């Protein structure tokens, strides 16, 4: 892979992330508001781990299977929607009054990691996306595996930085919201999760023929 191709890939990834927050980013914002950026790193780690799994699946050709199977695609998608809605409803019903916003409230590392992992894995568009993106920047005359590793690690690094930035914005929002009750904060975070579910539900899919 030449330097020119790699820089073109970086530009393509940057353009991809130059959009409003998606489902995973809304989750990071929500968790950063409730638990602080340090604990939300577990959620980021879960999200990026899911990305690594999805890239591996794409590399083994599973992107083509998902892209041609409407039923498998829709099952994954709607399970993801249900999971995000469940998180949102739980937050709406939570009444952790008296706790400080962003102070690591009741957020176990495993649970935060699981939220990030499941939310990202529940988006079947990712495998199809990686399956379509990576071949555009791979030189078939060179060994494929090292190129896939470079592309994958680069994407995860850029995604990690973007998620940290969204988490930082969540912390800034938490600072502004400290004067409100924690119950209200939970409802705001619940609304973010329901919005994330709506984003995933609104994505349309037409299987390849």
> What pLDDT score was predicted for residue 75?
65
> What pLDDT score was predicted for residue 103?
45
For residues 123 and 79, give the distance between their C-alpha atoms in angstroms, rounded to a whole number: 9
- Phi, psi values for residue 208, rounded to 5°: -75, 145
- pTM here is 0.73
Q: Which ranges of 18-137 does DSSP label H, i.e. alpha helix? A: 23-35, 37-59, 62-68, 70-93, 109-121, 125-133
> What pLDDT score was predicted for residue 107?
52
CA distances from 114 to 48, 69, 141, 160, 184 (A): 11, 26, 39, 16, 24
For residues 202 and 143, give the distance between their C-alpha atoms in angstroms, rounded to a whole number: 39
For residues 77 and 152, give the distance between their C-alpha atoms in angstroms, rounded to a whole number: 23
> What pLDDT score was predicted for residue 102?
46
> What pLDDT score was predicted for residue 82?
77
> What pLDDT score was predicted for residue 160?
92
Write out pLDDT tens, residues 189-206: 777 777 767 766 666 554
* pLDDT under 50: residue ranges of the chain: 97-106, 206-209
């Amino acid at each position: 892979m030449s330097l020119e191709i790699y820089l073109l890939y970086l530009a393509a990834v940057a353009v991809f992330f130059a959009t409003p927050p998606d489902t995973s980013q809304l989750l990071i914002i929500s968790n950063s508001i409730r638990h602080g950026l340090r604990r939300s790193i577990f959620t980021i780690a879960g999200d990026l781990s899911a990305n690594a799994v999805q890239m591996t699946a794409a590399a083994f050709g599973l992107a083509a299977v998902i892209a041609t199977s409407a039923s498998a695609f829709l099952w994954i998608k709607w399970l993801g929607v249900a999971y995000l809605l469940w998180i949102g409803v739980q937050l709406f019903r939570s009444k952790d009054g008296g706790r400080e916003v962003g102070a690591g409230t009741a957020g176990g590392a495993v649970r935060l990691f699981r939220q990030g992992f499941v939310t990202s894995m529940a988006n079947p568009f990712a495998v199809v996306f990686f399956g379509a993106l990576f071949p555009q920047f791979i030189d078939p005359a060179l060994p494929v595996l090292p190129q896939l590793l470079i592309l994958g690690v680069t994407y995860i690094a850029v995604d990690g930085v973007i998620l940290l930035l969204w988490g930082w914005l969540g912390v800034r929002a938490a600072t502004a919201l400290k004067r409100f009750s924690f119950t209200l904060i939970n409802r705001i975070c619940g609304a973010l999760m329901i919005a994330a579910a709506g984003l995933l539900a609104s994505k349309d899919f037409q299987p390849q023929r």
